[in-house]
Amino acid sequence: MLFLTLYDIISYLISIIVFVVIVQFVLGLLIAFNVVNTHNQFVSAVWTALNAILEPMLRPIRRIMPNTGAIDFSPMVLIIGLKVLQIILGNVARAYY
């Protein structure tokens, strides 16, 4: 029962991180296409906070991945890695139940 509870907590945290990655991606697109402006204090604060949260997770992935030019695949790799971790932990938690 303890493993299932821990799995639920970790799964919830993974879902939050995936949501934050998606929000950062969408906000990055909006900034790139000049839909929102980083001179706005709210947009700048949200962008800075999202980067501060995700950069420690994305930096090691960016170091390992080859340079692909203007396209950054590290958020996608992070999401896939987190989902794989979620599946593995779920199977381990169910095995001990």
Place of tokens 């709210």: 42
Phi, psi dihedral angles at 37 (to 5 degrees):
-115, 135
* Gap between the Cα atoms of 97 and 91, Å rounded: 10
- Torsion region of 5: left, alpha or beta (phi above 0 gives left; psi -120 to 50 gives alpha): alpha
Give pLDDT, residue 70. Answer: 82
Q: What is the pLDDT of residues 5-20, one digit of tens each?
A: 999 999 999 999 999 9
pLDDT band at 73; cut points 50, 70, 90: very high
Higher pLDDT, 1 or 57: 57
| Helix (H/G/I), strand (E/B), else coil: 8 | helix
Per-residue confidence (pLDDT) for residue 67, from 0 to 100 = 87
pLDDT band at 1 (very low <50, low <70, confident <90, very high): confident
Instruction: Identify the CA nearest to 27 among candidates 13, 12, 14, 45.
Output: 45
d(CA 76, CA 21): 9
**pLDDT tens profile 22-38:** 999 999 999 999 999 99
pTM value is 0.89
Candidates 3, 4, 18, 10; CA nearest to 86 is 10
Is residue 19 within 8 A of residue 76, CB to CB? The reply is no
